[in-house]
Every structure is written in C-alpha cells, then in structure tokens.
Structure 1
C-alpha cells in the first residue's frame, strides 16, 4: 500500500511561467503575416485594375486605328480598307518602319536557313486619271511583307517634292524596298497618292487603297511569274506590276564611278523579265563625276532572284546628234551569300558594280 508522500510526489505539476518576449514575437509574426496578405491582396487588385485599364486602352486604340483605315471611296461608291487591317492595333504600331536591313546573312553561314519565296515590285503607274495629265503626284506607297508586317516605303514624297507625271505611260519613281520582300502568306501594298493643285497647301486625293499579293496560291510549277493588279479608287486607276519568285535569294548592289563622268541611265533586272528597272537617270538624278570615287546614289538597290537566274545591269549613254545611244551590259550569277564585283567602261566613264548576296529569313530576328 502506497504512502501519502508517494501519492503527493506523483501528482506534482510544475508551475506555469509566462514568456512575454516569446508571446510578443509570435504576435508580431502574426501581424506581419496579416500585413503581407493585405499588401498582396492590394497588389493583386491593383494589377487587376491595371490590366483592365490596359485592355480598355488597347481596345480604344484598336478601334481608333480601324476607324481611320476604313474610308468611303467616291469612285467605287463603297467603304474600303485603305491600309493593312489584320492585327491588334492596341499593341501594333501601324506606322512603324521595318528595322530589318538587307544583307542579313551576306557574311554568315547559318545551318538550316532555306531559300524563300519572294516578290519584286517592278513598276507602279497611274494608267487612268479623272483629272487628266499632266499631274504632280506625291504621297506614299508602303509594302508590308510576311516577316512582321512593318512599313517599307516604295514611294515617299511630300507636297513640295512632287513627281510630275506627263502621261499614263510614265512610271512612278520607286525608291524601295530597302530589303528583299518575303512572301509566305501575303504582301500588302498600301497606296496613298495625292496631286498638287497650283499653290494650294493641301493636295487632292487621287488614289487610296490596299492591294494584296497572295503567296499561298503561287503555282509551284512556275518558278518566276510576272503579274499585275489594278487599284481603281478615288479619281484614278493605278497599275502595280510585280514578279513572284520561288526559292530566291537577295541581291544588294552598289555602283561606284571610278573614272570620268557618267551621263545616261543605269538599269537593273532579272534575266527574262523585261523591261529592266531604271535605278539611275542622270537627267533626273544629276550627273556624277569621279571626285572621291563617288558611290552613285541609286533609286533602288535591292532585288531578289533565283540561284539559276541572272542579275543584269544595263548602262545606256546617249550618243548625241545622229549617233545612236551606246549600251553596255554586265551580268552576275547569284550565290547564297558573299559578294562579287566587276568593272565596266562606258565611254569616258569607268564604273565598278558590286553585288552583295544574302539568304532571306522569314523570322524578324537574326539567328
């Protein structure tokens, strides 16, 4: 039988000691956790409101741009799209120029890079004018290709730098694109041309609209095809003539005047496609002399072509009087990359033609 002392020992309980510092620390942690939860909730609410405002802004920007590119055409008597419309204009800047240059892969080999389907814009002309001829034309023609649909100017003149057009047979002087046009799905052409009326500060719209070159339906059995499209709008009909090429590379050219003085025309083209494009005309672009081994400022300096084609340059110098115009030609065989150059004597002038070859890429970044 247990004694009373043993029972008292078994029932002994240590007294409770209150740790104030530990309790305060625990309370502080709880308060900090609550504060963080409230801050996170506020941050989430703020982010939700920011995203809602961003969606609202993007929606308004998109509607504003879409409203600006749909106009009533008095010639066709209907509303038409005058610019590229297949994007989210809340994030896409419709006026941003393409930063991608030519010669992206002239000096680099990239494994897996393939030849691309392309298009060359051969000519643009006003074949019919309700305002008659002659007319003084200014405005813009913009191309957007399959890389990222940003602007590349083919024609860009202000009202104080009009091109006089004397007849329906005269081409607009194109100065672009600055690189080869890649044709995976569509190339979009935005035409916005005005005519200057005397000394009036504001010109009159003569052509405005959108054309599309559809790369999805290119005949695969025809490697090079020449076609044209008509834009009937406002007070004119504009013809765009172009060539589509399957599996093509890019050529960028430069012409230097080494000796003498060049007076005449320089044409560039692809074998089998006529007429060639005038890339320099001394009557309109100024006569070049050989001071400082001058690089001639060309109207256009980029073309795409197939590797089994031929890039040709023609030089025409007027003979004067009864003497016929003298002509010289130089040809280049395309390559995947690299550069070639040839010298040519045209009367008293000696010139050097240099061509830079490059593969094209449908991606907007350099590999």
Structure 2
C-alpha cells in the first residue's frame, strides 16, 4: 500500500550524443573496410612479383641458350655467319623476355600505386568524417554540460532563497498534512469541478443496492474494494487531554465519481465524546461499496470543541491518497496512521479482492416486552476482523416489529468466501450471542433468522450487488 501527497521528467537532449557515437562507429568501420582493400592489393602485388620472377627466369634460360650456341659453334666449327645469326637470335630472345619482365613490373607498380592511392584517399576521408563526428559529439557534450551548470546555478539560487524564507514555525513544517489538506480543495476544483463532477462539497450520488434487482450493465464486475474496519484517535499531542468532544467529518473519495462517501460526520452541537478507553469514531458509512481502483482519497477535518467557537482546535486535517498494491492474490489487512500537530489518527483497512457489495438490514421478529440492547457485527473469513455495524448502547431499546436502523450497513465481501453477521443482545439480565453465515451472490437478497435463545428472534437480510465503474 502506497501513500501519495498532493503534487514531470525531462528527457530532452538524449539522442544527439548517441548519433555522434554512431557517426564515430561508422567512420571507424569504413576505415577498417579500406584496410582490407589495402591488404588485397598487397596480395595482388605479391602475385605480380611472382610473375616477374618467372619472367626473369626465362631471361636466364635465354642467356643459357646463347651460351650453348657459342659452344656448339666452336665444337662443330660452323661458319661464322651461322654463328652470328644464332647469337643475334639469342640476344633478341633475351632482350624480348627482359623487356616483358620490365613491362610486367612497371604495370604492377602502376596498379599498386593507383590502388594504394585510392585506398589511402578513402581512408583519409573516413578518418576526417570520424573526426568531424567526434567533434560534433564533443560539442553536444559541452552543450549539455553548460545546460547542467545553468540548472545547478538556478537550484543554488532557489535553495538560498528558500533558506532565507524558511520559517521553522510555519504549518508546512509543523503540520505538513494539514498544510496539504488546505490545498486539496483547490486541487480538486482544478481537476474535477471543471469536468462535470459537481462541487467540492457534494456527496456521492451513487447508491448502494444498485444492481440488486435491476440487471447489471456490461462492465459491472466483482472488483477490488476498500473496507474500513475502524478509525481512532490513537495518540494526543500538543497539550490535549482526554476526554475529547470531537466533531467534523471523515470521507472517502473513490474513482467512481470523486465525490464524498462519508463514513463519519458530527456537528458541533452533536459531538462524539472520545476517551482513552474508547478512542474510536462511530462510523456511519460508507453509503456504498468503495472502489479501490488506482487510489482512494481520505479527506479528514476533525475538531475539538472548546468552551466557545474561538476555543475550538483542529484535531486533525488530512487529504491523502491511499493506493493499493496491484493485484494481490488474497485480501489484505492494512494499518495506516497519520500524525498531525495535535493527534495521530489510525485507520484499520482492508483491501478486498474479487468482491461484491453487501447491504445488511435487521428486523426484530420477537423479543422481550421491555425490549433489548444489542451490538451488531459483520465479518468475513478472508480477514478475521469485525466491523461494528451498530451499538444501541444503554438508551436505545429494540422491540418486536422494529426495523433496526444500523449506523452502517454496507460492507464488501470476497465473492468466494462468506459473510458472517453476529449479534450480542442483552435485556439487562441475560446476554446472548447469535450468528449466521451467508454465501455471497452477485444480485438478489438472502434472508436468514438468528435465534438468540431465550431473548429474541431476528431476521437478517443481505442485499447483494455488483459494482459498476463506467
């Protein structure tokens, strides 16, 4: 579970440096290509040198032929004209072969010099392009370095100004939750009032039992919901002492309509007295299931009544986003607390998966003539914590035929688990307990009787509904 307060990343400037790197890589690759071309030309030159050696060998053979002719002339004592003719022929062969060898070498040298020159020119061009790309990369890096330096200078100026303006006694420091809560109304009006969600102070217009009898539209589902088990003033600070006469409001805003779903509300003339032994607020809601999609806003404005209005104190101001863990495999119990200048407010919550809305009502079938008192609870086997639906106290009596007006009647139930309704009843002499289990449904109602032996017979009805988020 994550908690947000009220409140952009700059990705500009990436890409030009990367492009510079790619230009450098391309240039180096091109140089490598021309190095390979140079290697092939060297191999060609070696082949031509081999051919040249072969030609020179032929020259030597020609010279040997000339020598042999001279020997034969001496041995056979041929005539001088014949000898001269053969010697001349040998010389011509020698000069022809030698000339051929020189020609081959000259051609090879010319081809080598031409190829080498082209390769060297292209290598040099590639190096220049690489150097140019690296230069651009350096320019890009310098640009962003200068930009970062300017941003740092601005931050230092801002930090210095904040230090000069810092007030250790300001509400932003002493009670940041209250400081944020005061800006919540402006934020809500800027975001939602202009888009057709009504006024900031509007309560939700979506009722419970929405699809108990009417067909659910496409999109109505068993969804994740937020269960509120209890809200209490866990700790006092700032000189406050028990008991406290508390008034004000606690409301939830979900993404179904972003309006208030009130779970506690008392006027100044109708305060609830909290003590150290019983610091729990008497919850009267929610009036419908609370959708836990993305987040739920807890809006709290609680005050302590003084001897006059001018003596009233802010007990706790809060406007906080409570986010869910994404897609848990099982329902979760969640404990959250928020400390203000004068108190710590504690919430016991449940993240209920694959849930349906259950609206509970109780009717007295029979009971003692003078009536009875009772405490009514609901619980689920997915999270074993009871939800107090109603406490009649010592002054409220329930008699035969009464429809008991429960303080809160809507709970969320995991669809593949069970709902348990229990009653602890007393007539002042006898105290007994009775329970009934209900299997969750997607629509319709379930009714069962709870027979509290020797005291009363109650009929408990549960109206089931899916939750629709358009």
User: If the length of structure 2 is used for normalisation, what is the TM-score?
Assistant: 0.57
Shift of 1:81: 3.0
Q: Secondary structure at the match of 2:393?
A: helix
Distance 1:88 1:329 in 2: 44
Q: What does residue range 11-90 of structure 1 map to in structure 2 within 5 Å?
A: 72=171, 75-76=174-175, 79-82=179-182, 83=184, 85-86=187-188, 87-90=191-194
Aligned to 2:416: 308
Q: Secondary structure at the match of 1:133?
A: coil
Distance 1:233 1:356, change over 3 A: same
Shift of 1:74: 6.8
CA contact (8 A) 2:301 2:317 kept: yes
Aligned to 1:339: 445
Distance 1:285 1:362, change over 3 A: farther
Of 147, 170, 176 in structure 1, the residue corresponding to residue 285 of structure 2 is 176
Q: Secondary structure at the match of 2:270?
A: coil
Aligned to 2:303: 194
Aligned to 1:355: 462
Shift of 1:342: 0.7
Of 391, 415, 437 in structure 2, the residue corresponding to residue 281 of structure 1 is 391
Distance 2:214 2:298 in 1: 31
Q: Secondary structure at the match of 2:221?
A: coil
Of 209, 223, 239 in structure 2, the residue corresponding to residue 116 of structure 1 is 223
Of 263, 266, 273 in structure 1, the residue corresponding to residue 376 of structure 2 is 266
1:137-165: per-residue Cα shift (whole Å, max 9, x none)? 11000111110101111111001111110
Of 230, 233, 246 in structure 2, the residue corresponding to residue 126 of structure 1 is 233
Aligned to 2:5: none
Gaps spanning 5+ residues in structure 1: where? 1-70
Gaps spanning 5+ residues in structure 2: where? 1-169
Distance 2:419 2:379 in 1: 6
2:269 pairs with 1:160: yes
Q: Secondary structure at the match of 1:160?
A: helix
User: If the length of structure 1 is used for normalisation, what is the TM-score?
Assistant: 0.72
CA contact (8 A) 1:74 1:234 kept: no
Q: Secondary structure at the match of 1:207?
A: strand
Distance 2:309 2:394 in 1: 25
Bigger fraction of residues in helix: 2
Shift of 1:327: 1.5
Q: Secondary structure at the match of 2:171?
A: strand
Distance 1:333 1:235, change over 3 A: same
In the alignment of these two chains, the number of paired residues is 287
Larger Rg belongs to: 2
Shift of 1:175: 0.1
Shift of 1:264: 2.3
CA contact (8 A) 2:376 2:423 kept: yes
Shift of 1:72: 3.1
Aligned to 1:105: 211
